[in-house]
A and B are shown apart, each in its own frame.
Chain A
Amino acid sequence: MQAFEYANPSTLQEAVALLAPQRGQTDVLAGGTDLISLMKDYIHTPKRLVNIKNIQELEGIRASAGGLRIGALVTMDELARNAEVRASYKALADAAAGIPSPQIRHMGTVGGDLCQRPRCWYFRGGFGLLATDNGKPLVPDGENHYHAIFGGGPAYFVSASSLGPALVAMGARVKLVSAKGSREVAVKSFFVAPKDENTREIVLRPDEILSEILVPAPAVHSATYEVRQKEALDWPLAAASVALTMKGSVVAGAKVVMGHVAPIPWEAAAAEKALAGKTITAASAEAAGKAAVEDAQPLSRNAYKVQLASVAVKRALLEAVKGKA
């Protein structure tokens, strides 16, 4: 790890003033579950690290009639255990509880979950976000078992965020704060599929801090289902978060968002359309799962993910209405 200056501010205002506007100069440290590893691998080599763990205003979950406010420093463990989240924002609680390592849940924060870098092994090996070697893309004919089945490149990594799909399905926003002021961005627009090596996979600027997540009041049944190869610590092979607005037993509106299948949380518009006016049954859930993957473009070694994503959608839908009339 390259040596760095360490800053330990106690207010958000102080923290953002310590960040540089140029990329690569400074990094924000919260749980450290991703950043410390990125620094050990020299993928990030900041000259200054700004620790935000001692900033009280970034803590806490607050539920009100208007919705949920989740401070960036809330850990995945706190989110998974929160009674209000479990009762009314189940897709979020499912996603946080799905992380199989207690240590990661204890350390990892919700802000870090959204800002973590892709796990693509070419990226981690120093070949950049687009994974190229002398201009040649390495993923399409390479070790692409865990890469994207949607999006069609030039970025083939998958968004590693556990909460991203659930937050997009629920129409959540994030607050981004810099020394110049703050802005709110829909989580849907927070993630971007980079078209060139100079674009990052999230819209957060180098001198901004993600301070909180704002989730609108739940008018929905929701759930997240992850397909994993093993029960211990690993990333899902495919995941789906769903949020349903019901009219009686009939779906009035559905949001279906898949995870780990594209560089961004991937919205399945065809599945949402297939569900409108339907009751959720094994048959309608399976049909929605099929619709969700009809446009999939698997690579040479990951066609297996198409079926897993389809099943994730089906099971998330059935889970969302389980035990409910």
Chain B
Amino acid sequence: MRGVGIGGGALGTGLLEKNAGAGTTPASVVGPGAVPITLHINGKPVTLTVEPRVTLSNALREHLGMTGSKRVCDRGTCGGCTVIMNGKTVYSCSVLAIDAQGKNIETIEGLAAPGQLHPISQAFWNNDGQQCGYCTSGFVMAMKGFLDEHPNPTVEEVKHGLGGNLCRCGAYMGIRKAAMEAAKAIQQGGKHG
């Protein structure tokens, strides 16, 4: 650790001490320029080059063309950007892409084969679980994360389990019905991504 201490190289690197001459950059420091990273998305490794400030949400949408997760509030409040990381739902707008390396990332694009609907998506369809549709993919992923942990939920559990997602159209009643129907469909042997 010598050489990266406060009096040593750590603050003599790049940005932190622009006018103080070059110090040695500790091996664990990268950026601010773009760096290559590898993400594991829907079971496949993908390599891209991004600045450390790029969020997972932006990496998916703008660098990889995967626009299923939405950017709505972009401040970790609305749930529109929800994806599943190592089995847990997260707001992808508040995760740095560089931090998502080594994690198993599930997005709505990987939920079902092209042209098919996952039981959760089908249940949204059946129960009018959406109006404008902007919150829908976030809700679908939040519901996937929730049902993975609570395969046989009560309506009350559904309410709390989806508390991290907002629908400004107010389609909550349809969304809750969809959750109950999807849980049943999955238990009865529907495909469970």
Q: Which residues of A contact B (CB under 8 A)?
A: 1-10, 13-14, 17-21, 25-26, 29, 31-34, 36-37, 39-40, 47-49, 51, 53, 77, 100-104, 106-107, 179, 207, 231-233
Contact = CB atoms under 8 A, between A and B. Distances in A.
Interface of B: 1, 4-6, 8, 10-11, 13-16, 26, 28-33, 51-53, 55, 74-77, 79, 82, 88-91, 93-96, 98-99, 142, 145-146, 159-161, 163-166
Contacts of A10: 28
Contact of A17 (B5, B77, B79): B5
Given A4-B31, A49-B52, A40 B1 contact: no
B53 A2 contact: yes
Nearest to B101: A8
B94 A20 contact: no
A175 B112 CA distance: 47
Given A14-B1, A32-B95, A101-B163, A37 B90 contact: no
A20 B7 CA distance: 10
Contacts of A6: 29-32, 52, 96, 98
A100 B160 contact: yes
A298 to B, nearest CB: 27
A10 B1 CA distance: 12
Contacts, number: 143
Given A5-B14, A49-B52, A103 B5 contact: no
Contacts of A39: 53
Given A1-B53, A20-B16, A49-B52, A106 B89 contact: yes
Nearest to B172: A232
7 contacts: A17-B1, A17-B6, A20-B6, A32-B95, A100-B164, A103-B82, A106-B88
Report which residue of B52, B142, B165 has the largest number of chain A beta carbons within 10 angstroms of its beta carbon. Answer: B52
A102 B164 contact: yes
Task: Give the top 6 A-B pairs by smallest Cβ distance, nearest first.
Answer: A101-B164, A6-B52, A3-B32, A100-B163, A106-B88, A103-B164
A46 B59 CA distance: 21
Given A6-B96, A47-B15, A233 B31 contact: no
A36 B1 contact: no
Given A103-B164, A104-B76, A231-B159, A9 B28 contact: yes
Given A18-B10, A47-B16, A49-B52, A103 B29 contact: no
B76 A4 contact: no
Given A3-B51, A106-B89, 13 more contacts: A4-B32, A6-B98, A18-B28, A19-B6, A20-B16, A34-B76, A36-B76, A48-B15, A51-B99, A103-B89, A103-B142, A179-B6, A232-B163
